[in-house]
Structure 1
Amino acid sequence: MELPDGVLDGFTGVVSAHHGDEVLGEWAVGLADRVHSVPNTPLTRFSIASGSKTFTAAAVLSLVADGSLTLETRARTILGSDLPLIADDVTIDHLLSHRSGIGDYLDEDEDEFAPLALPVQALDSTPAFLPILDGYPTKFPAGERFSYCNGGYVVLALLAERVSGVPYAQLVTQRVFDPAGMAHSGFPRSDALPPNTATGYKDDGRSNIFDLPVVASGDGGAYTTAADVQRFWRALTAGAVLPPELVDAMRQPVSPDADEGRGYGRGLWLDDGMLSLSGSDYGTTARSLHDVGTGVTVTALANAELPILARTNALMAAALEHVGGRA
């Protein structure tokens, strides 16, 4: 298929379109490492920032599937004396759907790019986030409304670790990446990135290494490839990661109008009937759309802070037209 005009203008990263397992097109532009002039390729791993929340949700729901948790489990029953400002009635479901009302250490309603309260090198595990999660009063009663909450997904990672006895990154690998065949995905340290991994660059040209946790937890930090994101969608919708009823729970529009016309389920954005994961942070932008009916997926992963919504929408329209035209 032909790439729509303008999709690669000013872009640095990888853009792809798939129909099932068939690659309709894959385009890599720009540099993964500007110091050594290493180009981005279709095999390059990228940080996907908050796109990682989708993987967190799938891992947590896998614990629901095996009976370790329920959607009605209250966070307080697992937290003990930690994070005392989290209300007694906040449940796993509230946290998954961004309806918990808990105070957020990184509140995007206030400042999307606020500096972290601890040095980034101190944030190398989920328990290490406890000091910066603490001390934020409840914003509204649990279940009242949607409010995107980064801290809520770190709390989910903490709860998942405690009930499973497995560190967050290992849990996601075992319960999401491995069943989906995502061999090129993981949670590397930002100061020890493996080969074929893109460095993120901020608008001023500097890397993002001093701005993000050295190892993120449930609200971000996964590195993956465009092909692995496609594998995730295929595995999720085929029931290889979760039972069908819990896939349906992820897709349920818990908040039909969560943000600018988009709905939100449990770990998934819902864009005009399509499933979506998306994220942005210092030096990274990512969005992937999956159309369940046709099996078409489009993904854009960038190692810079770039507008991405129009690019992926245009690519999805072209991919659907291409597939429909062949049928």
Structure 2
Amino acid sequence: MTGTRTSASGSRRRTLKRALLALAALVLLVAGPTLAFLALWSWPLHRLPGVGAGQESQSRTPGMPEADAEQLMTVLRQARADAGVPSLSAAIAHVDGRRWAGASGWAEVERRQPATPASRYRTGSVAKPITAVALVRLAAEGRIDLDAPAARHVAGLPPALAGLSARQLASHTAGIRHYAQTPQWWPGWHEALAMRDCADVAAGLDLFQDDPLQFPAGAGFGYSTFGYTLLSRMMEGAAGRPFPDLLRQEVLDPAGMVSTGVDRDGAMPGRVAFYEGRQGRYTRAHPLDSSCRIAGGGLVSTPTDLARLGATLLGGKLMDEAALRMLWTPQPLADGSPNPQHYALGWRVEDDPRLASGGRPLRVVHHGGSQAGAAAFLLLVPDRGLAVAVMANSGSARGDVETTAFALAKAALTDSGARPGQD
């Protein structure tokens, strides 16, 4: 009897041991690739070299006093030091013609290449307001109806997408999904980290066009980069031109954005290297091919170009007041309620207490973005004729670029060159 009990006990131990080994193998199978991915692309393993005067530069127009430019550079320098990212680059443009641009840090750490105001960064979702400017210009010219169904300009769409309008797509009320919910740290399988190459805008539709809508069109708000892919395909159909050509002819050339273009795999002149990390540590960012989402997050630019776009809009040189109202009016949901992000067509519009006049928040128009190795923020203050753009070559710096943009705006609105009545 004792032998039987001993044998049974030994059998249970062996069964438990096999179960534990199977569990360990399963954990290793799941966690191993994840840990390897994080170690290679996400964990900031390296310490940033120091940043001195040799890694800083700025420029200003003659109309801006030197003391004001130095104040702005001090804000940028401190912001980069506080964030501990490889580099921050920023630009300010007033509608009266005053301009400033500065950069602090490393465009490429390994080669000890400093960032300059001419360094090109990924825009992330700041591509969306650029796309929206092109959309409203087409609408103002009568070449696209914002409320017409997508099927008018794009043949062969699934029924769920065929009835969506450009207004719904541009305001994220169409119901198209965003990136899949796979955790972003999963080993390179997340759609935001995809390396798929799309030869044209139409190829990007394959990523989502057969998926169900998240809610009935117009009934909710759901931020969607893929929605901008369909929007850009509609714009191509309306204009009869490939989207990159349309963007250049409708926005980039008229606004003088000479350093802005479609991001692409491989080397690009002036483009920074991309990293992840903050607080003085970094690692290289995961490679990225954004060719399937140009309109929503596939451009490179400089803060100077982005600020120039803002000042051009504020100065009425790209569209008239009626078109600007179209662009910057937050879109209500189908039941008349406001959308939760005060989202207009490609821009967020709100009264922000971070900038105030006479104790009242100023109205600001803005958009931010982040993706592998990059963060950007574009801020406009219409009542003060001011545009501010900040970009970083770290995907971890989304909050830093926004905070810095507001700090620079506040400094610019209190400088000695401010127009009468400004504060």
Q: Give the TM-score of the pair, scaled to structure 2.
A: 0.69
Contact kept, 8 Å, 1:188 with 1:215, in 2: the verdict is no
Structure 2: 5+ residue runs without aligned partners? Answer: 1-67, 352-362
Q: Determine which of 295, 308, 318 is the counterpart of 2:385.
A: 295
Contact kept, 8 Å, 1:87 with 1:102, in 2: the verdict is no
AA in 2 matched with 1:125: D
AA in 1 matched with 2:329: Q
AA in 1 matched with 2:250: R
Pair 169,112 (structure 1): closer, same or farther in 2 beyond 3 Å:
farther
Q: Determine which of 148, 166, 176 is the counterpart of 1:92.
A: 166
User: C-alpha displacement at 1:98, in angstroms?
Assistant: 0.9
Pair 118,40 (structure 1): closer, same or farther in 2 beyond 3 Å:
closer
AA in 1 matched with 2:403: A
AA in 2 matched with 1:322: D
Question: Is it true that 1:286 corresponds to 2:364 in the alignment?
Answer: no
Q: Please give the root-mean-square deviation of Cα atoms over the aligned residues, in Å.
A: 2.6
Secondary structure of 1:301's counterpart equals strand
Instruction: Count matched residues.
Output: 319
Tell me, in whole angstroms, the C-alpha distance in 2 between the residues paired with 1:216 and 1:325: 39
Contact kept, 8 Å, 1:45 with 1:223, in 2: the verdict is yes
AA in 2 matched with 1:242: M
* 1:111-139 Cα deviation digits (max 9, x unpaired): 66772299624224212212112222111
1:156 matched residue in structure 2: 231
Higher alpha-carbon deviation: 110-119 or 245-254: 110-119
1:205 matched residue in structure 2: 283
Q: Determine which of 211, 215, 219 is the counterpart of 1:136.
A: 211
* 1:279-304 Cα deviation digits (max 9, x unpaired): 11111100011111111222211111
1:315 matched residue in structure 2: 408
* 1:122-160 Cα deviation digits (max 9, x unpaired): 224212212112222111111112221111101011111
Contact kept, 8 Å, 2:103 with 2:117, in 1: the verdict is yes
Higher alpha-carbon Rg: 2
Q: Give the TM-score of the pair, scaled to structure 1.
A: 0.88
Secondary structure of 1:173's counterpart equals helix
Question: Is it true that 1:270 corresponds to 2:349 in the alignment?
Answer: yes
Contact kept, 8 Å, 2:127 with 2:295, in 1: the verdict is yes
User: C-alpha displacement at 1:179, in angstroms?
Assistant: 0.7
Tell me, in whole angstroms, the C-alpha distance in 2 between the residues paired with 1:73 and 1:239: 27
Tell me, in whole angstroms, the C-alpha distance in 1 between the residues paired with 2:202 and 2:192: 15
1:30 matched residue in structure 2: 105
Higher alpha-carbon deviation: 28-37 or 175-184: 28-37
Tell me, in whole angstroms, the C-alpha distance in 2 between the residues paired with 1:130 and 1:172: 19
Structure scoring higher RCO (CA < 8 A, sep ≥ 6) equals: 1
More helix by share: 2
2:320 matched residue in structure 1: 243
Tell me, in whole angstroms, the C-alpha distance in 2 between the residues paired with 1:290 and 1:252: 14
Secondary structure of 1:7's counterpart equals helix
User: C-alpha displacement at 1:177, in angstroms?
Assistant: 0.6
Question: Is it true that 1:166 corresponds to 2:244 in the alignment?
Answer: no
Identity of matched residues, %: 27
| Over 4 Å off, 4+ runs | 110-114, 255-259, 323-326
